[in-house]
Amino acid sequence: TQLLEQSPQFLSIQEGENLTVYCNSSSVFSSLQWYRQEPGEGPVLLVTVVTGGEVKKLKRLTFQFGDARKDSSLHITAAQPGDTGLYLCAGAETGGFKTIFGAGTRLFVKA
């Protein structure tokens, strides 16, 4: 079974700081998604990356897929309290029909 490891597990920062969250595996994924989940709500899809080396930007969020399609990062510039939440990476198994979720990074941005 393919695994996704996220780091850090928890991050508490001040408003205006930058941060990077990592999602790593020893396995190749055909694509990778990032979700944000707020307490008591379902995950909301932020982005899907498909091509090795791909970079996507969503306002202050920058997502990168590793060249070998084994890892991904999410960088947030000038974090705001509204960015607080659980960030989940999820990968599509190669040759399979399952989504593998990472354990998540819990982000808290203090005003």
By the rule CB under 8 A, 14 interacts with another protein:
no
In the list 21, 36, 43, 74, the residue contacting another protein (rule: CB under 8 A) is 43
Residues between 48 and 87 with contacts to another protein, criterion CB under 8 A: 48, 50
CA-based nearest residue to 49, from 62, 37, 36: 62
Query: Long-range contacts of range 43-46, CB-CB < 8 Å, 24 or more positions apart?
Result: 43/86, 43/88
In the list 90, 105, 107, 109, the residue contacting another protein (rule: CB under 8 A) is 90
What span, in angstroms and rounded, lies between the C-alpha atoms of 91 and 11?
Answer: 22
By the rule CB under 8 A, 104 interacts with another protein:
yes
By the rule CB under 8 A, 28 interacts with another protein:
no
What span, in angstroms and rounded, lies between the C-alpha atoms of 81 and 89?
Answer: 21
At residue 82, what are phi and psi to the nearest 5 degrees? -70, -10
Q: How many residues of this chain bind another protein (CB under 8 A)? A: 24
Residues that bind another protein (CB under 8 A): 30-31, 33, 35, 40-45, 48, 50, 88, 90, 92-93, 96-99, 101-104
